[in-house]
Amino acid sequence: MFKFSYFFKIILVFICICSFFSFSYADDIMPEEDDFDISSYLNSDIEASSNSSEFPTINSRAYVVIDRKSSTVLVGKNEYAKKKMASTTKIMTSLIIIENCNLSDTVTISKKAANTGGSRLGLKTGDKITVHDLLYGLMLRSGNDAAVALAEYTSGSIPEFANLMNKKAEELGLTNTHFVTPHGLDQDEHYTTAYELALLTNYALNNSKFCQIVGSKTYTITINGYPRTLTNTNELLGVLDGVYGVKTGFTNGANRCLVTSCKRGDMDIVCVVLGADTKKFRTQDSIKLINYSFSNFSYINISEIIDDEFNKWKDNNCQKFNVYKGISNNVELYYTKPFSDFIPVKKDLQNKIHVYISCNFEQNAPLLKDNKIGNISIYVDTQLQYTLDILVKNTVEKKNIFDYLYDFCFNFKYCFNGLFK
C-alpha cells in the first residue's frame, strides 16, 4: 500500500510538471517537433508546386506577403484581422532597445526577469550581461527572461515599457496593434495583424543593427564573463534561398507564428504567418508563400506608366478649365508620386494596368497652389492599387477691380475697332 501510494504521488507530480510546461511554453522549443527535417520539404513537391501559378494550400489562419520597396500586399488572408502574435512581439521590443539604449551597458538581472516563464535564455538573479548580448538572447533564443530584463532596464517596469512600444506603434501608423508585454505571452489586449506585423518588420529591417542580429544563425554571448553560444530558432535562416531573418513565435493562444524576410534578385519581401497548427505547417506555409511570390510576381515601372497617361490627359484636357472670377484659366497640374517607382505585379496581369483620371474643371478663384482638384486611380485588372492626388502647380488669383476695368477697356477697344473697320 505504501509503495502504491508513493508511486501514485510520483506520477501526480510528473503530470503537474508536464501540465505546467505545456501551459507556459512559448516559442519554438517544442521537443515533439524539433526532429523534423526541413530539407525534406525543400526537396519535396512543395517547392515544385510553389513555382507554378496555382496558389498553394495554406494551413495558417492569417498570412500576408508584402513587397518591401512599395509595401504592396502580394498575397494575404485575414491579414487585417487582429491576432495574438506570441514572440514575434520581440521585433518591437528589440527595435525600442536599439533605437533608445546604449548597447554596451551592463544589466544586472532581477528576480522578476529570472523567474519569467516560457522560452528562456536561462538567466539567474544577479547575472550580469550587456544590453547587446541580451538582444541576441532575445532574438536568437527568444528569451522571455531577456525581454523582461531589457524592459526593466529601459523603463523600470513592463507597463512603462509597453507604453513605449505602443507609442512607437502609433508613430508607425499601426492602428490595429497593441502591446502589453515585451515577450508576447498571451494577453487579451496584446495583439496585432499580419499586415501590421509585416509593416513593423519592414521598418525594423531598415536598421542595420536589427538586421545583423536577426540574420545571425549563431552568436556567442557572455554571461558573468563566461561565453555561451546561441543558435537561432528561425528554421528557415541559412536554409531557404534568400532568407535573412526575422523571428519565430509560439504560444497556446497564438499557435505557431513566423515572420520571414527574403531577398532574391531585385525583389525583397516580408512573409508573415500567424496561427499555424504545427511548426511543420508554419514552415511549409512560409516556404510555399515565399516561393509563390517570387515565381509569380515581378516589378513594373508604375511611375513611367502614370507619367505617360497623365501627360496625354493634360494635352487633351487642360484647356477645359474655367476658373470663375480668376485672372486666367491657365491651370498647371502635378500629382503626388507613388510610394515607389516600381511595384510588383503578377506576371499574367502586367498587361492589365489601367489608369483612370478624374478632375473638376470648374473652379472658383482664388485657386491656390497645391489645392487638390482631382485624383488618379491605378488598377491592376479590377483591383484598385493606388489613388494619387492631382494638385494645382500655380496660383490663379481672383480678379480685382482693376482687372475688371482692364477687361472692360480691352473689350470696349475691341468692339470699337470692329465698328469702324
Catalytic residues, by residue number, are 87, 90, 142
49 close to 285: Cβ distance less than 8 angstroms: no
* Residue 404, all three cell numbers: 475688371
Task: Please give the angle made by the CA atoms of 25, 27 and 32, to the nearest 5 degrees.
Answer: 70
Other CB atoms closer than 10 Å to residue 235's CB: what's the count?
A: 22
Report phi then psi at 205, rounded to 5: -70, -10
* DSSP conformational letter for 117: -
Tell me the helix, strand and coil percentages in the chain, rounded to 5.
40, 25, 35
CA dihedral of residues 70, 71, 76, 82 (deg, nearest 10)? -170
Pairing of strands 322-324, 362-364: parallel
Q: What is the rounded CA–CA span in Å between residue 376 and residue 354?
A: 10
Q: Where are the beta strands (DSSP E) in 78-145?
A: 106-108, 128-130
Q: What is the rounded CA–CA span in Å between residue 313 and residue 293?
A: 34
185 close to 251: Cβ distance less than 8 angstroms: yes
Q: Where are the alpha helices (DSSP H) in 142-232?
A: 144-155, 158-171, 194-204, 208-214
- Please report how many Cα atoms fall inside a 13 Å half-sphere around the Cα of residue 175, on the Cβ side: 2
Q: What is the rounded CA–CA span in Å between residue 44 and residue 193?
A: 31
Grid cell 535562416 in the structure block, residue: 237
